[in-house]
Amino acid sequence: MSGYVYIVGAGPGAPKLLTIRGLECIQQADVILYDRLVNPELLTYAKADAEFIYCGKEPGNHGLIQDEIHRILVEQAKLGKHVLRLKGGDPFVFGRGAEEAAILRKANIPFEIVPGITAGIAAPAYAGIPVTHRDHAASFAIVTGHGRAEKEQDFLNWAALAHIDTVAFYMSVGNIAHITKSLITYGKSESTPVAVIEWGTTENQRTIIGKLATIAQDIQNHRISNPTMILVGDVVNVREQIAWFAEKEHKLC
């Protein structure tokens, strides 16, 4: 007897930004494999007898390696269980959801993909920054900040990125010096506004604003750490007009 797997985006952090379909999947699941950035409050909606398996990944400390996650998904589904793979943000935006779906298809296990709100849009919105704007930005890119030139992993097209109006960098705090240098080298102005949003959409949200030439030092001075979104572009200036979220003090209603 084959079970079923839900691959669900849990959203950017605030529990009420989970989709209705995502909530239904949590309530139906027998087994829940969840990531580090999933808000723990979401797990309280699970069945009383649901099994929880932590799959969190952070630098130097992986809860489970990806191959082991694949094995558990297939194994539990083949036992006839409803299995939930719960991921921060959206499962198809730097979430490896496509890899997991491919493994399930190969094993002939039915699955459903439930999109989630990704942090590259949500965190700026909570900081009062639109990623597009009629007067400031007609193009928008989301980029992983993991690649390092010194490790020969820098596969990004910096020449193209330097000419996109708004660029959201995920997982980039540790690589910010390389990012800023690359953008400036390929034509981005040193004075381009940059927003750094730590723990976006949550009660711990903190935003700092700076310029491309100096934001790496600003991040160090303010001791910013992950999870953080870094937004580069003139739209950052719109924050002065529409910032609405009272950071550090706001209580979600």
Active-site residues, by number, are: 35, 57, 171
Task: Tell me the longest C-alpha to C-alpha distance in the chain.
Answer: 60
Structural tokens at position 2? 């084959």
Whether the link from the prior residue into 227 is cis, omega within 30° of 0, is yes
Q: What is the 3-state secondary structure (H, E, C) of 101-162?
A: HHHHHHCCCCEEEECCCCHHHHHHHHCCCCCCECCCECCEEEEECCCCHHHCCCCCCHHHHC
- Integer CA distances (angstroms), 146 to 115, 116, 182, in order: 23, 22, 14
For the beta sheet containing 206-211, the strands, ordered from the edge strand earlier in sequence to the opposite edge, are 140-144, 166-170, 228-232, 193-198, 206-211
**Cα separation, 103 vs 66, whole angstroms:** 11
**Cα separation, 120 vs 144, whole angstroms:** 10
**Cα separation, 38 vs 87, whole angstroms:** 6
Tally helices (H) and strands (E) across the chain.
Answer: 8, 12
